[in-house]
Chain A
Amino acid sequence: FPVVPEKKEDTQFAKKYLEKFYGFKEEKNSLFKAKNLNHMADKIREMQSFFGLEVTGELNHKTLDMMKQPRCGIPDIRS
């Protein structure tokens, strides 16, 4: 369904979700900001592909909604 404007806390929530279930690791050094964004977009694509969502790499409403569903705590990728 249509996208609602992305909120900062949504990005934080998504980062934690991707760390927990898709092995996302954020470079702490801010020099790698662009690299982080690409890496995060890759992980979003991986999660969208797993759940059969449209693979956009963007944190859209459908993707956020799926992240907020109650679920099992085990990662979705083999790690």
Chain B
Amino acid sequence: YSTFPHSPKWKKEDVTYRILNYTPDMLQADVEEAIAKAFQLWSNVTPLRFTRLYSGQADIMISFAAGFHGDFYSFDGPGGTLAHAYPPGSDIGGDAHFDEDENWTKFTTYSGYNLFLVAAHELGHSLGLGHSNVLGALMYPIYMAKDTRDYQLHPDDIYGIQALYGSPRESPVLPTKAFPPQEPTEMTPAEVPTEMSPRQEPTETTPSKPPSRPEDCDPHLTFDAITTLRGETLFFKGSYVWRKSPYFVEIEHDTISSFWPSLIAGFDAAYEVDKTDRVLFFKDDQYWAVSGYSIESGFPKPIQNLGFPNSVRKIDAAVHDQNTRKTSFFVGNKYWSFNENTQSMERGYPRKIAADFQGIGHTVDAAFQKNGYFYFFHGSNQYEVDIKKKKVIRIMKSNSWFDC
């Protein structure tokens, strides 16, 4: 976490706020609820109490405005800067401004920005916090759509605000453990992207750790999904990504959230349509489309949009043939063929995998295309398939790409 220079803070525990105007994007009651909930996040973990005023000068004046709005920091239209706020002080000090050119919402869809999340961040500034470089912290500068039901502050946010104001007077709403600022200890790489070492909750209370990343050369290594992406190959398992690139020698170890923070872990399938620079991820009966790091708006969508019957509730694997522009979807012992040009399923499908792919007598966990071949994965084995002959020509271990 960080504070502003000289760590300005409110010299009192009773802080007032006033909502000066409203965005036409939301019901007034929803705006008021979002802002009240945002204040409550901070009052839950400090001695501060927030009182709403309906007239006159409040400590924190909240307003919506577009473009130039009377301070030196004009807004920039849709996207880019969403809002800003000033550190504690007189006059403009503490005030929070929201860019009216954004689409404000009380939901966490991709069609707008959740006012509660942005207001909670900006009010952190109004109370004296600067930005945090901890991915997942509320005070991280970049907006991330998150589930706001039962939203909890990240420990880093709590460390920061309690460094300014201390913990709540009455019995702590939090678990009884204190949050002594601890020296950042190494977190297992799976929990944080590389090059960041945020503070960690005291070890005795660290929530049960997710299973750690399997070794690259574990002979029993299996994958959930595999896809190419702009010449690289990404291997997915749980929240982990193994990244193989022609641009650097070693295998890079990442997490899904380090590339796409708002995507859920545990993909069932993934494939790239190189011509449109798009990768599609599948989980249960939904799918997402990304281009590089950007998630396309309007996702997730139901897989039935692609032409699957309602009886199909998830996909095992998918692979796009860049030559024919057809994508094969594997479900159980059958597969479908989807025409990316017409965006529709081909007639005569599903067909039995074993009937068409000689040597593949089981389900397919993951698949991708490389060097003119298909690679099908089943458990810890990998099958190199001649696409034209639809015939297995080689069997390897799933992690043979990791130069074990």
Question: What residues make up the interface of A, taking CB atoms closer than 8 Å to B?
Answer: 1-2, 20-21, 49-55, 61-62, 65-66, 68-76, 78-79
Chain B residues whose CB sits within 8 angstroms of the CB of A49 once the complex forms: 195
Q: Is the CB of A62 within 8 A of B84?
A: no
Asked if B294 and A71 make an inter-chain contact with CB atoms under 8 angstroms apart, the answer reads no
The residue from A52, A61, A74, A75 contacting B196, defined by CB atoms under 8 A apart? A52
A21's contact among B113, B141, B231, B232, by CB below 8 Å, is which?
Answer: B141
Q: Which of A62, A73, A78 contacts B293 (CB 8 A)?
A: A62
CA distance A61 to B294 in the complex (A): 12
Do the beta carbons of B125 and A74 come within 8 Å of each other? Answer: yes
Residues of A close to B143: CB separation below 8 A: 69-72
B265 proximal to A (CB < 8 A):
no
Question: What are the interface flags for B185-225 relative to A under an 8 Å C-beta threshold, 1 for contact and 0 otherwise?
Answer: 00000000111100000000000000000000000000000
> Pick the contact of B142 from A53, A55, A66 — CB < 8 Å?
A66
Chain B count of residues within 8 A CB distance of the other chain: 40
- Supposing A70-B142, A72-B141, A73-B73 touch, asked if A1 and B81 sit within 8 A by C-beta, the answer is no
Which stretch, B130-138, B164-172, B349-357, B361-369, touches the partner chain A?
A: B130-138
A72 touches B5 (CB 8 A): no
Contact A74 B293 (CB under 8 A): no
Give chain A residues whose Cβ lies under 8 Å from the Cβ of B102: 70
Q: How far is the CB of B333 from chain A (nearest CB, A)?
A: 35
Contacting residue for A73 out of B81, B130, B247, B294, CB 8 A:
B81
Q: Mark B77-108, 1 if CB is under 8 A from A, else 0.
A: 00111111100000000000000001000000
Instruction: List 11 interface pairs A-B (beta carbons < 8 Å), by A numbering.
Output: A2-B231, A2-B245, A52-B258, A70-B102, A71-B143, A72-B82, A72-B131, A73-B75, A76-B131, A76-B141, A78-B4
Inter-subunit contact A78/B2 (CB<8 Å): yes
Contact B294 A65 (CB under 8 A): yes
Question: Beyond A65-B294, A71-B142, is A52–B83 a contact (Cβ under 8 Å)?
Answer: no
Q: How far is the CA of A21 from the CA of B75 in the complex (A)?
A: 14
Q: Is B237 an interface residue (CB 8 A)?
A: no
Q: Which residues of B contact A72 (CB under 8 A)?
A: 81-84, 118, 121-122, 125, 131, 141, 143
**Which residue of A51, A55, A72 has the most chain B CB atoms within 10 A of its CB atom?**
A72
Nearest-CB distance from B82 to chain A (Å)?
Answer: 5
Minimum distance in angstroms from A78 CB to a CB of chain B: 5
Contact present for B142 and A52 (CB under 8 Å): no
Please indicate the chain A residues that have their CB under 8 angstroms from the CB of B4 in the complex.
Answer: 78
Indicate whether A74 sits within 8 Å of B133 (C-beta atoms), given known contacts A62-B293, A69-B142.
Answer: no
Contact A70 B80 (CB under 8 A): yes
On chain A, the residues within 8 Å of B292 by CB distance are 1, 61, 65
